[in-house]
Amino acid sequence: MIIKSLQLQNFRNYEHLDINFDSKLNVLIGKNAQGKTNLVEAINFCCIGKSHRTSKERELISFNQESAKIKVIAEKSAGEKKVEIFLSKNSKKVIRINNLSILRIGELFGNINSVFFSPEDLKLVKESPVDRRRFIDIDISQMSKVYFYNLLRYEKILAQRNKLLKSSFDSNQAMKGLDVWNEQLAQVGAKIILERQKFTQHLSKLANKVHSSITDGQENLILSYTGLQGENVDSLYRQLYELLDKSVDKDLQLGYTTVGPHRDDLKIVIDDIDIRSYGSQGQQRTTALSLKLAELEIFKEENGEYPVLILDDVLSELDTNRCNKLLDSIQNVQTILTGTSFDFDYPATKYLINHGTVKKL
Ligand SMILES: Nc1ncnc2c1ncn2[C@@H]1O[C@H](COP(=O)(O)OP(=O)(O)OP(=O)(O)O)[C@@H](O)[C@H]1O
Ligand SMILES: [Mg+2]
């Protein structure tokens, strides 16, 4: 898949932007605070329907403006895709795909696929399980709408169960109500866990390969899914139902649900060492990058074509050797890379970003 063009109106510091991309390496060069991240944020917004930086979408609209527009045109083997997003301070956002408005955000997934890597993605390795679950969930959702809707359903049921746990003074009454939610939660939760397990196994193999290549075979990276393990939905359902049932007393005391896929994690180990607790800064950085590059391969397998790779400010964090290995490994993928400079001997289409304007170099 190739992103052919991006147009912006009143998006962050861009009043107007119209840019065409090359099918290989595109490098956006500019000083700090010129709009490099804003530009790639807009592209990613058209892929997943949200910003990687903020959940407050009004922040995306230029200061002193009421509305903003993003338009991305991509070329896929199945044909052209046009995604337009209209943001307004006074009304809900509108998303159109090939001129048709969509009703649910899930319909956006899979139209324009991207793998996005920014310095914040170090969180993926370093910080709480929430970030790793989000990583897995966004990936699987882009490949499976059913998974995305299951996630939404799970969250709804979980909220209902938690509400009951919090409000229950009569525990006999609560037990009856909770059993209904336990069953529903276990049904949807089992499907989520199974998909996450499969995805993690696959991701682990691919990330191991990439990581080994970037580190010259020095490091052995292994990922695993923590939480219930099961071969199929039925077995996971039974286990999860039992676990929820057993945790009722504790959950009633605490007022929230303490077990289930919303508490699981992705464990990341290099040479038997948990990288989150013991990894060096460089190991954590490279690991996050390996995870993202593994994503590329998964998408290729699923869709028969690569998504666009977006690397925001990544080269400045790696040593020259690793930068070269990275650039070698992405030769066949359309890449949009940002940085304050680009001093590598690689063929690239370069653009200068200056105060919300773009000039092809
Ligand atoms: N809603 C908005 N309206 C107008 N300008 C905005 C808005 N949101 C952010 N900006 C401005 O956009 C500018 C550029 O931000 P951006 O994060 O894209 O910079 P950058 O080129 O990636 O810089 P760096 O190299 O430091 O990462 C910031 O100075 C910020 O003030
Ligand atoms: Mg930036």
Q: What would the pLDDT profile of 2-30 be if each residue is shown by its tens digit?
A: 999 999 999 999 999 999 999 999 999 99
**pLDDT value for 177:** 81
User: Which atom from ligand 1 is nearest to the alpha carbon of 62?
Assistant: 3
pLDDT, tens digit, 9 for 90 and up, residues 38-80: 999 999 999 989 898 888 999 999 999 999 999 999 999 999 9
* Tens digit of each residue's pLDDT (9 = 90 or more) over 261-320: 999 999 999 999 999 989 888 888 889 999 999 999 988 988 899 999 999 998 887 888
Could you tell me the pTM of the whole model?
Answer: 0.82
What's the pLDDT score for residue 152?
A: 96
> Percent of the chain, pLDDT > 70?
98
Query: How far is the CA of 179 from the CAs of 13, 160, 183, 184, 246, in angstroms?
Result: 52, 12, 6, 9, 11
| Residue type present at position 181 | W
Please report the pLDDT score of residue 73 as a whole number.
98
Q: Which of 194, 285, 270 is nearest to 239 (CA)?
A: 194
Dist. CA 187–CA 238, nearest whole Å: 9
User: Which pLDDT score, from 0 to 100, does residue 171 have?
Assistant: 66
* Residues sharing a CB contact under 8 Å with residue 335, sequence separation 6 or more, in sequence order: 24, 25, 26, 308, 309, 310, 311
For residue 53, give the ligand nearest its CA. Answer: 1
Closest CA to ligand 1's atom 30: 33
Cα gap 81→112, rounded to integer Å: 7
- Domains, the chain: 1-113+307-361 (3.40.50.300), 122-305 (1.20.1050.90)
- For β-strands 94-97 and 79-88, DSSP reports them as antiparallel
Q: Which atom from ligand 1 is nearest to the alpha carbon of 41?
A: 18
Q: Give residue ranges with CB within 6 A of ligand 1.
A: 12-13, 30, 32-38, 59, 61-63, 313, 340
User: Structure tokens of 285?
Assistant: 């950085």
Q: Which of 12, 51, 69, 311 to mutate to test the pocket of ligand 1 (most atoms within 8 A of CB)?
A: 12
* Range name among 123-132, 172-181, 189-198, 208-217 with the lowest pLDDT average: 172-181
DSSP 80: E
pLDDT at 168: 67
Taking 80 as the threshold, does the pLDDT of residue 174 lie above it?
no
Contact predicate 194/217, CB 8 Å: no
Q: Whose CA is nearest to atom 18 of ligand 1?
A: 35
Alpha-carbon gap, residue 276 to 279, rounded angstroms: 6
